[in-house]
């Protein structure tokens, strides 16, 4: 903004003194060239700095984008891994349930088989009784055998052996007989020769009496 001329008025004096502003200092061509060069250099620096900031900003954006992408991939992988693990656990659970069902069926089949075999054995023993007294006593003993004993092979075998021993008929001990061995008679004593005097034919007879 150009400076306005200052006007001073003195008291009692009608004369007005006009003060002119000092003229501006003019720069030489060299100074102007240096000034323009400095401004251009500063503008270049500012431009480079802005470009650097922009590049850094873009790089930061790229890094953030890559990080977000990486985080997204990690979350995706974790989700897939969790789904895969859950699927595997479900498959393993199905396998275990199937094995458990098979095991329960095998146990039940074995239980039924053992109970059936014992029932057949029980029937065989009872139908082998000769008297009602034996039948009643044996049935009373068999009725004391519970399912737990039937399903335990060793316990059942011991129980049956103990029970059968009470019904076994004790045979008297065998008496060994002494056998007397006699010497065989001599062949000379048992040989009789008959001669037919009338003819030439001779008859021989062996007598092993």
- Give mean pLDDT in consecutive 10-residue pieces for the chain, a chain of 209 residues: 49 58 75 84 87 86 88 90 90 92 92 90 89 89 88 87 69 58 49 43 40
Ramachandran area for residue 113 (φ above 0: left; ψ -120 to 50: alpha; else beta) = alpha
Q: Which of 91, 106, 121 is the last residue of a domain?
A: 106
End residue of a domain, out of 148, 165, 182: 165
> How many folded domains does the chain comprise?
2
Statement: the pTM of the whole predicted model exceeds 0.95? no
Which pLDDT score, from 0 to 100, does residue 49 have?
86
Domain match, 121 and 153 both:
yes
> Residue 7: phi, psi to the nearest 5?
-115, 125
Please check whether residue 25 lies inside any domain of the structure.
Answer: no
Whether residues 91 and 43 fall in one domain: yes
* Widest CA span in the chain: 232
Q: Please tell me the predicted confidence (pLDDT) of residue 171.
A: 56
96 shares its domain with 37: yes
Are 147 and 115 a contacting pair, CB within 8 Å?
yes
The domain in which residue 102 lies consists of 33-106
pLDDT at 206: 37
118 shares its domain with 153: yes
Are 120 and 62 in a shared domain?
A: no
Dihedrals phi, psi of 40, to nearest 5 degrees: -65, -40
Q: State the pLDDT at residue 160.
A: 82
Same domain, 137 and 122: yes
In a domain, 173, yes or no: no
* Rounded CA separation 171/173 (Å): 6
């Amino acid at each position: 903004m150009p400076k306005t001329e200052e006007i001073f008025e003195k008291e009692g004096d009608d004369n007005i003194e006009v003060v002119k502003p000092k003229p501006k200092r003019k720069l030489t061509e060299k100074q102007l060239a240096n000034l323009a060069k400095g401004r251009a250099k500063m503008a270049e620096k500012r431009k480079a700095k802005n470009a650097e900031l922009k590049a850094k900003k873009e790089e930061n954006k790229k890094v953030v984008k890559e990080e977000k992408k990486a985080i997204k991939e990690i979350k995706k992988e974790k989700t897939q891994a969790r789904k895969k693990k859950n699927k595997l656990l479900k498959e393993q659970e199905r396998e275990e349930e199937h094995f458990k069902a098979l095991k329960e069926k095998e146990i039940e089949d074995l239980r039924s088989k053992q109970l059936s075999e014992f029932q057949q054995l029980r029937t065989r023993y009872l139908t082998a009784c000769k008297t009602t007294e034996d039948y009643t006593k044996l049935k009373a003993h068999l009725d004391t055998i519970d399912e737990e004993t039937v399903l335990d092979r060793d316990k059942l075998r011991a129980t049956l052996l103990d029970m059968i021993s009470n019904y076994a008929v004790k045979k008297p001990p065998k008496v060994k007989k002494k056998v007397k061995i006699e010497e065989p008679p001599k062949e000379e004593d048992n040989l009789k020769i008959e001669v037919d005097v009338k003819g030439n034919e001779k008859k021989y007879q062996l007598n092993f009496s």
